[in-house]
């Protein structure tokens, strides 16, 4: 393997490696095409995604109320977003730019601003073929879903044994179990498990069977929970009890990692629906204590506040059972992605997963990964140039290896530990 002979060739090699490497998207909210309306796709879903609905209400006239907006049909809502966010104001936010990138890469002419013709194109698509088209444009091998065993509509789909496209892999969502025991107990009871309204010994045993049965049924890549900035561990809360008595023993016994997304402040503006959540600075010590106390359990962690990122990187250096992933939600903006990627490369090398899409709409895979590749390529170019200036001469194969590592390879290395 010949080493690269010039700085110019180095830079072009790094950029090409990032642009062409296959990506594994380790966290999304997508569903199989067989799960019907649970899989969101198409231009109206893109335009009414909660990022853009939130943006709409920063620019729309006060005469447009949240109540009136939610009474509209999906198409009418999309029309309003198109009018105010794209036509009456410049589409310069990351969310609005993302819609343009997606449509452009699908071959649609956005400069004509003809939403009707765009809708006509989407109406002609067959969802099974369209899913494959999106994955190819984004350059993904597969994506990990979010599958909630406490959500009746999702449970019904799984119980029917509906086929799952091999582009998608399950993850078991357990927020309800950790944060709302009474609601979790109600659903577990509805599914035939003997669980009471408090986590007593019999209920704990039943809840462990519930998790084990779901893990056996869908074979998730990991269990996952979204947690608030007030998440603490250990403490005397029901959440800690459920972790210690149910979730963590299951993770250990069945060798299923626990993914935690920490820092979301729920429902600060309920009128915005899914867009009504905000961000709070979390306590990184909770992650530290989990890793210290449970060295035989794998933890995947991303945090929502920019403030938490440096501490989390340092923890990633200390604990081999901790893997950092993605620039989540409010961190999914180019300036912050660039900052976090550079920080992580500086502190952790390529033992990270630089991004996950968090896509709830299938089409979002196109823009999120197109934008991310460009940002990450620049960061990786810089780091390789610094190594070059220190006398190191990498090969093309080594650069390709490292590009794949931060886009999914290190994730699978971590799971295999």
Tokens of 236: 């005397």
Across all residues in the chain, what is the average pLDDT?
Answer: 97
What does the pLDDT average to over 95-122? Answer: 98
Q: What is the mean pLDDT of residues 247-260?
A: 98
Confidence of residue 3 (pLDDT cuts 50, 70, 90): confident
- Domain membership of residue 52 (yes or no) is no
pLDDT digits 0-9 by tens, 291-309: 999 999 999 999 999 999 9
- Sheet containing 140-144: give its strands across: 23-25, 140-144, 168-169
For range 305-329, the mean pLDDT: 98
Q: Reply yes or no on whether the pLDDT at 1 is more than 80.
A: no
pLDDT at 234: 98
Decide if 367 contacts 102 (C-beta within 8 A): yes
Quick check: is 100 in a domain? no
Domain-located, residue 93: no
d(CA 98, CA 92): 9
Q: Tell me the CA end-to-end span of the chain in Å, nearest whole number.
A: 28
Q: What is the CATH number of the domain that holds 172?
A: 3.20.20.140
Q: What is the DSSP letter of 350?
A: T
pLDDT tens figures, 370-395: 999 999 999 999 999 999 999 999 99
HSE-CB of 55 using CA atoms within 13 angstroms = 25
- Would you state the pLDDT for residue 5? 87
Q: Is residue 187 part of a domain?
A: yes
3-state SS class at 149: coil
Q: So what's the pLDDT on residue 256? A: 98
Mean pLDDT of 341-358: 98
Say how many domains are in the chain. Answer: 1
pLDDT digits 0-9 by tens, 37-66: 999 999 999 999 999 999 999 999 999 999
For residue 348, being part of any structural domain is answered with yes
β-strand pairing of 278-279 with 264-265:
antiparallel
Boundaries of domain holding 15: 7-39+127-416
**pLDDT score at 93:** 97
Could you tell me where the DSSP H helices lie in 34-93? 43-47, 50-59, 66-71, 74-81
Tokens of 239: 């959440």
Instruction: Give the integer Cα–Cα distance in Å for 295 and 57.
Output: 46
CA distance 411 to 353: 6
For 150, the 3-state DSSP assignment is coil
Residue 399 main-chain phi, psi, to 5 deg: -65, -45
Shortest CA distance to 127 belongs to which of 202, 35, 24, 205? 35
Is residue 346's pLDDT more than 80? yes
Work out the pLDDT band at 407, boundaries 50, 70, 90.
very high
- The residues facing 322 across adjacent strands are 299
Angstrom CA distances, 222 to 113, 145, 199, 218, 411, stand at: 42, 10, 23, 11, 12
Helix runs in 165-223, H state only:
175-179, 181-190, 201-218
- Whole-number pLDDT of residue 221: 98
> In this structure, is residue 85 part of a structural domain?
no
Q: Is the pLDDT of residue 30 over 90?
A: yes
Identify whether 152 is part of a domain. Answer: yes
The Cα–Cα gap between 31 and 42 comes to 14
- pLDDT at 116 exceeding the cut of 90: yes
Each residue of 151-190: pLDDT tens digit? 999 999 999 999 999 999 999 999 999 999 999 999 999 9
pLDDT, tens only, 87-106:
999 999 999 999 999 999 99
Within a domain: 191: yes
How far apart (Å, rounded) are the C-alpha atoms in residues 259 and 309?
16
Cα-Cα-Cα-Cα dihedral sign, residues 41, 43, 44, 47: positive
Length of the chain: 417
Mean pLDDT on 67-85: 98
Region 56-80: mean pLDDT is 97
**DSSP character for 247?**
I
Percent of the chain at pLDDT > 90 equals 99
Phi and psi torsions of 269, nearest 5°: -135, 80
Contact 291, 332 (CB under 8 A): no
């Amino acid at each position: 393997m010949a080493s690269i002979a010039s700085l110019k060739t180095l830079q072009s090699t790094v950029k090409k490696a990032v642009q062409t490497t296959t990506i594994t998207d380790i966290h999304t909210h997508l569903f199989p095409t067989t799960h019907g309306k649970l899989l969101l796709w198409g231009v109206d879903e893109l335009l009414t995604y909660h990022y853009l609905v939130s943006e709409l209400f920063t620019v729309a006239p006060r005469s447009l109320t949240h109540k009136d907006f939610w009474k509209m049909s999906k198409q009418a809502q999309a029309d309003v977003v198109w009018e105010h966010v794209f036509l009456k104001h410049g589409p310069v936010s990351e969310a609005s730019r993302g819609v343009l990138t997606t449509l452009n890469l699908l071959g649609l002419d956005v400069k004509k601003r003809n939403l009707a013709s765009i809708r006509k194109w989407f109406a002609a698509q067959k969802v099974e073929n369209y899913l494959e088209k999106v994955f190819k444009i984004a350059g993904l091998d597969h994506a990990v879903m979010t599958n909630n065993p406490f959500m009746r509509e999702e449970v019904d789909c799984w119980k029917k044994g509906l086929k799952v496209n091999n582009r998608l892999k399950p993850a078991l969502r357990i927020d309800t179990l950790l944060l709302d025991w009474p609601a979790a107990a109600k659903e577990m009871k509805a599914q035939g498990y003997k669980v009471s309204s408090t986590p007593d010994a019999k209920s704990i045993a039943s809840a462990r069977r519930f998790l084990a049965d779901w893990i056996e049924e869908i074979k998730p890549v990991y269990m996952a929970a979204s947690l608030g900035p007030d998440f603490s561990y250990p403490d005397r809360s029901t959440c800690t009890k459920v972790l210690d008595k149910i979730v963590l023993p299951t993770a250990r016994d069945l060798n299923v990692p626990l993914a935690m997304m920490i820092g979301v402040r729920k429902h600060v503006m309920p009128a915005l629906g899914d867009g009504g959540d905000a961000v709070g600075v979390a306590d990184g010590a909770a992650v530290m204590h989990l890793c210290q106390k449970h060295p035989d359990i794998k933890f995947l962690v991303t945090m929502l506040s920019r403030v938490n990122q440096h501490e989390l990187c340092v923890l990633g250096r200390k604990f081999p059972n901790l893997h950092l992933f993605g620039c989540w939600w409010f961190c999914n903006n180019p300036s912050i992605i660039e900052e976090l990627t550079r920080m992580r490369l500086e502190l952790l090398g390529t033992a990270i997963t630089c991004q996950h899409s968090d896509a709830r709409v299938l089409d979002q895979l196109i823009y999120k990964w197109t934008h991310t590749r460009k940002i990450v390529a620049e960061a990786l170019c810089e780091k390789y140039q610094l190594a070059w200036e220190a006398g190191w001469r990498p090969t093309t194969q080594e650069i390709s290896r490292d590009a794949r590592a931060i886009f999914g390879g290190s994730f699978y290395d971590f799971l295999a530990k």
